[in-house]
Structure 1
Amino acid sequence: MMSLLATSPVLRRERRPLSFWLLGAVFAAFVLFLYGPMFAIFVLSFQGPEGGLTFPMRGWSLHWFAQLWEGIGVIDIGAALRRSLLLGTVVMGLTVLFSLLAGLAYRKKLPGGTLLFYVVVASLIMPSIIVSLGVGLMFRLLDGGVKLWLEAHWPEALDTFTTTLGMFSSGLGAQLTWTLPFGLLIMFAVFNRFNPAYEEAARDLGATRWQTLRHVVLPLIGPSLVGIGMFGFTLSWDEIARSSQVMGDVNTLPLELQGLTTTVTTPVIYALGTVTTLVSFAVMGLTMVLMAVWRRRQGRR
């Protein structure tokens, strides 16, 4: 009896083909290549006061995080962190709002809608530095026009005017050219699978268009909107290329971090990288929690 069970095709362990192990090795190498540098930075950021930028480790401590809290030279890391958080929050909100409105608009036939769609999506394939240079040039030309207008109509304000370049003008616009196409593509995918029968049933029950949107459409697409918000924040949080020429006289945290890589030679820069990565993970974790809560509430209804 035992011999029959041992030779049973159901219980006998199936041998993996060689291709399985080869593909597994390739996948493991890819994961190591993708996340290995991040884990190395995490580990090196917890070195002791005598630590350097490479292995082997020299003790374990929170010394470099304390150094980061005190500041790195003349650079105010705390201010850069607050600026990035604020800008990322604004980009997130606008990305969700504009993506939702565009998704609703494209549910109907729009004159010139196809051309507009390709113009928006083309931003994804353009080199990011070219977008940054173009936005920066546009606002510098705007500066010239503003100065001419002030000179002709308000000369007193000409002495105080500097530039229209700024974090919430050119910087915000440049980052939206990166986040909005992703949000728009997600909303197109959502509404392509959306069953309009739910809306028709709501209208048959006497609901207005606004009530249908608020009580039917938005609850059903809510998890997707949360995902778009996560995309918007994380893409803004670590954006460098499109922000490099448009931020004016202030820098976001990624731009400060890029500048520090050429001047800072201690693990404090690894501590900064660890903090920024943890913020990204926190945003993703919060997004997953919000989506789980949303689904649970919808299930109770």
Structure 2
Amino acid sequence: MAGSKLAIEGKISIISFILGLGVVIIPLIRTYAGHLDWVFDYLTEVRGKIAIALYIAVINGFLLIIYKGPLYKVAVRACFLGFTFGCGLIISFSQTTWTHFGWYMCSLSLFHYSEYLVTAIINPRSLSLDSFLLNHSVEYTVAAISSWVEFTIEKLTFPELKQLSWLSLVGLVMVLCGDFLRKSAMLTAGSNFNHIVQNEKAHSHVLVTDGVYAFFRHPSYVGWFYWSIGTQVMLCNPVCIAGYTLASWRFFRERIEEEELSLIHFFGEDYLEYKKKVGTGLPFISGIRINSS
């Protein structure tokens, strides 16, 4: 069952993501030899918007015909993320002041898609639409929208603030390293990884202490923490940098304490010994106090 689920849903997500990514063909065809210096201007014109709208309609219609029910829901989400990634690439390689927002679009869409794909690989039994993390929480959605609003307002009022390329590069490195660490943690944990904190120990559940877990007790959270902040550093969003740092820190502090209660219950002294040797990896977060457990 697990293998067939991966073969169907995982493969469909890959195909759909690539179909969405195919939007990059539009400006390449339009500019013949692939000169991207004026692609952004073209896509903001009426003809460019019509071309993109037609592409979306055709691809969505194709997916709707090919896949039904739950499979279509997987396909349309993966396609949307591929489309967003493609648009991000177009903006990133165009000569426009929105370049760094293009980086952000690529980072955001790839993060969410890879969450689903890696889950399909390591733990297909837990795979669901929630594995995309698109509906993570109301707070997460509000935070994302707030970053878009801040970027737009500051770009219109203080455009020079959004052209700090060195700062955006720092953010890009944070994003790449953070996402790499998180996915490494997921792959290392394998079937032990789950997006939802588990309150009951499965028969296959083992304590993972090797790989990146030898350096951080919660590497997936460390990766997500710095990825999240990195997206705002990339956008040069001073308000959201502070807001994301505080909100992410509080979220992971509570999440780690909740998770460690279960881990101590599952593995007892083995986890307590591991906890003594390896830190959480997050600043000023030590996890649940052993005396209170």
| Interval of TM-score (by shorter of Structure 1 and Structure 2) | under 0.3
TM-score norm. by structure 2 comes to: 0.23
The structure having more radius of gyration, on CA atoms, is: 1
Higher helix share: 2
